Amino acid sequence: MLSGLPYSAEDMRLLRELNATKDVIHRYNALVPSQEEEKKAILKELLGHTADDQICINQPFYCDYGKQISVGKRFFANFNFTVLDEAPVTIGDNCFIGPNVSIYTACHSTDPVERNTRREWAEPVTIGDNVWIGGSVTILPGVTIGSNTTIGAGSVVTKDIPDNVVAAGNPCRVIRKLKANED
């Protein structure tokens, strides 16, 4: 799965891992929001890498495996953050994720006969440093979003987005380049 090669979504080992992660996610989402230390402890257990203790993911949060997710320093994600992490999802330092954002790495065939075999593959997603992802953005498999970039609310990111830009739309495209010192 992590190599990008096709795998069976019905593999019993993967299904056990998915269910174990769902149990951890259930514990996380059931915490009282003010239980900050307990939330951070669960996130450190769940995620593959957290750069520091300044991590906040508002509940509810959903992911498939968790361990393929890496977040940098001072990470914040708002409500209903969903990550299908069949491949690595790497998020840099000082990133802000708006509400209802989804990151997908799982890929499925467009051919219905092949799709019904439950064979799928996954492609990683990478987000640079100092990125703001607006509310209700969907990021598709294989995408890289450059550093110092803003993705406008409601965008569907289907292709790589470079550093130092504002991008928006469906499909998401660059609408403005930023000066090096502009936020």
Residue 54 within any structural domain of the chain: yes
Residue 183 within any structural domain of the chain: no
**Beta-carbon contacts of residue 158 (< 8 Å; ≥ 6 apart):** 140, 143, 171, 172
Q: Where are the alpha helices (DSSP H) in 31-138?
A: 36-46, 112-115
Give the CATH number for residue 78: 2.160.10.10
Give the percent of the chain with pLDDT over 70: 98
Residue 33 within any structural domain of the chain: yes
Q: 8 pLDDT exceeds 90?
A: no
Residue with tokens 């393929």: 68
In this structure, what token pair is assigned to residue 39? 């939330």
User: What average pLDDT does this structure show over 99-112?
Assistant: 95
Question: Over 80-107, what HEC string results?
Answer: CEEEECCCCEEECCCCEECCCCEEECEE
Residue 165 within any structural domain of the chain: yes
Q: Which of 16, 108, 115, 176 is catalytic?
A: 108
User: What average pLDDT does this structure show over 88-109?
Assistant: 97
pTM, full prediction = 0.93
Look up the domain containing 145 and give its range.
7-177
Q: 182 pLDDT exceeds 80?
A: no
Could you say which DSSP state residue 161 is in?
B
Q: 52 pLDDT exceeds 70?
A: yes
pLDDT digits (tens, 9 = 90+) for 123-144: 999 999 999 999 999 999 999 9
108 a catalytic residue = yes
Q: Into how many domains does the chain fold?
A: 1
- Are 58 and 77 contacting, i.e. CB atoms less than 8 angstroms apart? yes
